Structure 1
């Protein structure tokens, strides 16, 4: 009798277990922050927790501090119908240990954690500031964009070109150093050194653009090379921008390729000086075409196209120095009917063997967007959603596409803490 009961129990379990393959789950190694229903949440050790108490608008994904002890997020606040800007952006920090949040500044933009300390840099009307949560310090004026230097001891920053009666000036790159003690900062100019003057016009092939802004600075693994994007005027930048590479001493400068904004940013490989990016001009309303996954190895400046004919790429993530996962669609003309536009799936590319394998099959009407490789779990995460959907579900799988599971439901953005 006992054997019969045990057999029935095992049979029931076997029938139930397969239905768990699409249950909401995660890996204990993952530490995730995300936005859902106007609140900031975290998911740690398989447990979800809402950490903000008041509903708000969070336009950017949360950012983890370098050691994972703090979380930063921006909250958009309406300013009223009579102001020049419809919203202002409050910057908040949440202490993971004390479970308390703190407003850092009532109006700031483009905040970024130091890569080595729990301090934040942000912009306020062109002023670059640094905050240690208790005080903030003016670092430099006239800054258009910036990035921390990997050792956390300063920044690379840019000033935008300005329009004068005789035409546009040049964007200029600067290096800015920080003292060990922020209280020693007494000037917004003494620690600033001009690094490189971007030429007024950049040309690649048959395409030329005026240089107005320089942004999205990324350091190579050995810090000897810096990639950045040069943009023309606002509407023009929807169709054509230039990816540039400069040596850290400023002696070598190269216009690498034409790209567009609003796809995925260029990214360096994990340990090798290989830059990955999606090449090709023309906004997507001109068609899902001419968007190729390329890699460029430094210092040779040799580029390789990884996208097969009749396909286009929307986003990518490095898995390691020899593998990339892309969000890929079939090439097609633009259709005003969203249902007729192609939906992407994920493909893994082996740079050593050039083998390419499709690893996801989203259901009809859904696409797999924005892949992110997590070093903590050695897995791929991505958004599965409709093309125009702001809210989607986050899925997770092994790099080969196996063991696919639902990770987060109904979120607008997320970030994974990487140790």
Structure 2
């Protein structure tokens, strides 16, 4: 059982294929993963433990755009201050020299540039960029963020704030980089306001307060950005809004409602945005969870879920087909044996027939499909006793 579970972790912590462009062909993968408190790689079939002391890793490791570096975030055993509740160090590992380099003593949310080996990360609300030798402060007041595809700027937002006269509006910003990072002298000069989000977002009869913005993802052609706008408090677990904005900030659209467990993913090459629409947590019932795809710039949406079914997760196979984890609609039960167990289905956009591709044994369900395009393999979690399954 333990061996099977470790095998699952290897694949669940694999980075999306777009971040491993330097991988060898013939279905050979570079994989970085965490197991038993250590960081490991599997390259051309060879497994290597690359850290020597057990530690706590809060996020999966990430490959640089050329596949020569790995960044990881780790909790140190000794904190900078005993009063700190949470602290993480950011390190990079060079696969050629096999050396580790600490980027910062306290940082979060490391993200590689999509075009070169420079690294962005946050220290509190400060955005920083490192050339892997030292780093520069770039901007203040930054929450979630993402690189623009050209690697020369970032998109982020300020959250709404409560004032005596009500909530302010969240505001989207573009933060530019100096060509020479050493010449960064101002933390505001290169900040450009992109768009002021309305303080309430409406879709049909639904209205959601707009407080926080996160999960920025650029479309395949780089012309659109998807994002998730959420309400305050525990509201994000129940009702968020998927939105898109043009990369230049000129066109903003509210797409649909999702809950806090739903993911949003672009197709590989076409501007098709996939998401599982519907608010409410699963504990409110296995219902109102439909696989939808919205095409841009036409903003036409397709509901791909047949009546009396609900979706729990999905993965793109290609621009025209998806895998979904699907159950029959039912009410929630505190008795796990009374809950529906999902199976995986293949959906081909534009075709009526949808094919069931897994048939888990009784009391087991198939969850969290992940398609590895570079290996042409589908992985998922078969859940009762955490058994992992792989299918070509």
Structure 2 SS opposite 1:221 = coil
Change (3 A) 1:255 1:393: same
The residue that corresponds to 2:335 in the other structure is: 337
User: How far off its partner does 1:87 sit?
Assistant: 2.3
Which has the bigger relative contact order, CA under 8 A and spacing at least 6? 1
User: How far off its partner does 1:260 sit?
Assistant: 1.2
Report 1:258-297 matches (<5 A). 258-264=257-263, 266-297=264-295
The residue that corresponds to 1:173 in the other structure is: 172
The residue that corresponds to 2:4 in the other structure is: none
Change (3 A) 1:288 1:83: farther
1:87 aligned onto 2:81:
no
The residue that corresponds to 1:162 in the other structure is: 161
Alpha-carbon displacement from aligned partner over 1:345-392 (angstroms, at most 9, x marks no partner) = 221111132431122233444433222222211222223334xx7xx5
| In 2, Cα distance between equivalents of 1:393 and 1:242 | 34
Query: Where does structure 2 lack aligned partners over 5 or more consecutive residues?
Result: 1-6, 12-25
Alpha-carbon displacement from aligned partner over 1:185-238 (angstroms, at most 9, x marks no partner) = 111111110000010111112221211111111111122211111011130111
The answer as to whether partners of 2:173 and 2:195 remain within 8 angstroms in 1 is: yes
| In 2, Cα distance between equivalents of 1:84 and 1:257 | 42
The answer as to whether partners of 1:145 and 1:159 remain within 8 angstroms in 2 is: no
Structure 2 SS opposite 1:61 = coil
The answer as to whether partners of 2:262 and 2:275 remain within 8 angstroms in 1 is: no
Structure 2 SS opposite 1:183 = helix
1:220 aligned onto 2:219:
yes
Change (3 A) 1:271 1:220: same
The residue that corresponds to 1:257 in the other structure is: 256
Structure 2 SS opposite 1:118 = coil
The answer as to whether partners of 1:78 and 1:87 remain within 8 angstroms in 2 is: no
User: How far off its partner does 1:52 sit?
Assistant: 1.4
Structure 2 SS opposite 1:199 = coil
What's the C-alpha RMSD, in Å, of the aligned pairs? 2.3
1:135 aligned onto 2:134:
yes
The residue that corresponds to 2:200 in the other structure is: 201
1:99 aligned onto 2:98:
yes
TM-score by length of 1: 0.83
Query: Where does structure 1 lack aligned partners over 5 or more consecutive residues?
Result: 1-22, 399-419
Please say which structure displays the higher CA radius of gyration: 1
The answer as to whether partners of 1:229 and 1:242 remain within 8 angstroms in 2 is: yes
Alpha-carbon displacement from aligned partner over 1:22-48 (angstroms, at most 9, x marks no partner) = x99998512212221111111222232
| In 1, Cα distance between equivalents of 2:377 and 2:340 | 26
Which stretch has the larger CA shift, 360-369 or 149-158? 360-369
Which stretch has the larger CA shift, 330-339 or 56-65? 330-339
| In 1, Cα distance between equivalents of 2:331 and 2:101 | 48
The residue that corresponds to 2:118 in the other structure is: 119
User: How far off its partner does 1:85 sit?
Assistant: 5.4
1:396 aligned onto 2:390:
yes
| In 1, Cα distance between equivalents of 2:257 and 2:347 | 22
Change (3 A) 1:77 1:311: farther
Q: How many residues align?
A: 370
User: How far off its partner does 1:171 sit?
Assistant: 0.7
User: How far off its partner does 1:248 sit?
Assistant: 2.1
The residue that corresponds to 2:33 in the other structure is: 34
User: How far off its partner does 1:113 sit?
Assistant: 0.9
The residue that corresponds to 2:369 in the other structure is: 371
Task: Give the one of 329, 346, 349 matched to 1:348.
Answer: 346
TM-score by length of 2: 0.88
Change (3 A) 1:248 1:72: same
Report 1:18-33 matches (<5 A). 29-33=28-32
Which stretch has the larger CA shift, 189-198 or 364-373? 364-373
The residue that corresponds to 1:308 in the other structure is: 306
| In 2, Cα distance between equivalents of 1:87 and 1:66 | 29
